[in-house]
Amino acid sequence: MEKILAASTLLLLLLISSRLPAQRNGDESRRAPDVIYYNAKVITVDDQFSYAQAVAIAADRFTSVGTNESVRRLAGPKTRQVDLRGMTVIPGLTDNHLHNAGGGHGVDLSRTRTIGEVLKAVGDRVQRAEPGEVVISNSDWHEAQLKEQRLPLRRDLDTVAPMTPVVIVRGGHEYILNSAALAKWNITTATAQPPGGRITRYPDGELSGELVDTARSLVTLPPEKPRTPEQQIQDQIAEYDKLHAVGLTAVRHPGDSIDSYRMRKEMERRGVLTMRVTQLLRLAGTSAAIEGTLKSSGLLPDDGDALLRLGGMKMIVDGGFEGGFMREPYEEPYGEGGRFRGLQTMAPERFNETVKLFNRLGWRVFTHAVGDAAIDEVLAGYEAANAEASIVGKRWGIEHAFIGRRDHLPRMKSLGLFLSLQDHLYLAGPSLVKYWGRQRAFLTTPVKLYLDAGLPVSGGTDSSVVPYSPLWVIYHFVTRDTISGGPMGTDQKISRNDALRMVTRNHWYLTFEEDTKGVIAPGRFADMVVLPEDIMTVPAKRIEQMRVMMTMVGGKVVYRDADFRKIATE
């Protein structure tokens, strides 16, 4: 492996490789398997993309992968043998950018399909509101799921909430307020547009109630009912259980707090952390404040182990669907007569300064950049850091990278960047056409462009902004189909092999763990998923509808479908 490695990373690799069974003593490697799964179509996702029929597992590792005959021969008297009766086995599925599984304490809009249904859900909650209460919604929904393909705005909300303040939260960049809420926080047509944010208006000049990005800081949402540390752990366990049911064995949380990392460490200590977790830290404040926070936390880059690990620092330079920072203006009316190009949520000088700080401290950086101009900014910042001390080989990266341009590619390559890509278009396609026009929307996210350039890429969802399911990621990337707008930008379709790699083995390059995870091979961690059909050969639409039959993390079954036992036999 010829790569320039940071000293800390090299140490990490040594630690990992010292635990590989190839280097265990002879007694252990001759141990009979705990369990053998056979009569399967095992897609190993190794370098040759080879298939096998059976796998043997001892403790948390695969010990053998091969034909039914060759693997079953290893069985000892206590080995369980499970006949999968032709089902398909793939490596554990991963999500490179998952905030949470959605839900929450607000009004649930995730299943609404019309503006009328949104208003009904909000109106019902308003009827039950206590005097002085602010009604809010959960964030896990998008107007692309609505028949009208538009946001509910202030005047819509006023029809069901004339007196009660209502804040509709959508994704991570957007609030919509009714008139009572605008009045509560004293937001009027006289309120200045905050830098990095936007207070939008109806065509007649009145406020529409929409607050984008930093404009949201004009509003203070009512605090969630405080949860005890114990409740937080129980909620996290329940959330990971939901994610195991769609085949996820590993998630990367982009930009969580040090406290939540400590909570997950406590879960691991108790033996209740069933998900492999990579966590990026998001720290706010001046360079001095960030450095102080890190010092007092005692956390070092790559802190963690094979189950839970810090993966770097998260930064953000632009908005999302309605605020991605572009080289060219938005479509009208969003372009405001050719003036609006999106939002810069951080001044470039501040960004560059912080990136250099992280480089000096040995942290790798991943930056949220949606628009092409945002990617320009990130590359400039990384190049400035690289000029001080090389970042090549340290696997820094960009999150999302919706509007990648050809001129970005050589710069990304020479910095050795990794692209963390998601299936936003699947959900938001029709909205992106409205904001950015067909050409830019159809480019989102140009996975094929990046792959053809030889850039390393992995896949995920950005849940709860986009609903979580790694099978939907595969389905979208191989078809470019969307939930409500049909296929878009089909020239960016990729092969099923590439899509499966993106949500399995490629994930582990993000933390230099590609030698221990992501492939079904002897010595690797036994993370795998059982599917009822072969996703490499079924009609594509079946991938979207497919149920997961079983999920395993480190040799432990963490999810089993009710029908699994009807098919598999022991």
Residue number with CB closer to Zn ion (58 or 403): 403
Q: How far is the CB of 332 from Zn ion (least distance, A)?
A: 28
CA 319 to chain centre: 16
d(C-alpha 510, C-alpha 417), whole Å? 10
Instruction: Work out whether 498 is an interface residue with Zn ion (CB under 5 A).
Output: no
Tokens 């995920």 identify what position? 460
Q: How far is the CB of 129 from Zn ion (least distance, A)?
A: 30
Residue number with CB closer to Zn ion (66 or 255): 255
What 3-state DSSP class applies to 287?
helix
Joined tokens for residue 55:
């796998």
Of all residues in this chain, which one has the CB nearest to Zn ion in the complex? Answer: 462
Residue number with CB closer to Zn ion (462 or 498): 462
Element (H, E) at 311: strand 308-316
d(C-alpha 111, C-alpha 118), whole Å? 9
Backbone angles phi and psi of 253, in degrees to 5: -90, 115
Distances (CA, A) of 162 to 76, 123, 151: 72, 10, 18
Q: How far is the CB of 232 from Zn ion (least distance, A)?
A: 21
Q: How far is the CB of 399 from Zn ion (least distance, A)?
A: 7
* DSSP summary character for residue 101: -
d(C-alpha 504, C-alpha 462), whole Å? 16
Distances (CA, A) of 288 to 245, 297, 310, 316: 43, 14, 21, 19
Q: How far is the CB of 255 from Zn ion (least distance, A)?
A: 7
Q: What is the dihedral of CA 309, 315, 321, 324, to 10 degrees?
A: -150
Q: How far is the CB of 47 from Zn ion (least distance, A)?
A: 31
Residue number with CB closer to Zn ion (372 or 462): 462
96-115 footprint of Zn ion as x/- string (CB under 5 A): --------------------
Residue number with CB closer to Zn ion (274 or 461): 461
Q: How far is the CB of 425 from Zn ion (least distance, A)?
A: 15
Q: 516, 306 in Cβ contact below 8 A?
A: yes
Residue number with CB closer to Zn ion (143 or 462): 462
Q: How far is the CB of 251 from Zn ion (least distance, A)?
A: 12
Residue number with CB closer to Zn ion (91 or 254): 254
d(C-alpha 334, C-alpha 68), whole Å? 60
Residues 405-464 that bind Zn ion (CB under 5 A): 462
Residue number with CB closer to Zn ion (377 or 462): 462
Element (H, E) at 375: helix 372-388
Amino acid (one-letter) located at 512: F
Residue number with CB closer to Zn ion (140 or 462): 462
Q: 535, 89 in Cβ contact below 8 A?
A: no
462-481 footprint of Zn ion as x/- string (CB under 5 A): x-------------------
CB atoms near residue 356 (< 10 Å): 20
| Residue 86 neighbours by CB under 8 Å, 6+ apart | 39, 40, 41
Q: How far is the CB of 254 from Zn ion (least distance, A)?
A: 5
Chain contacts with Zn ion (rule: CB under 5 A): 462
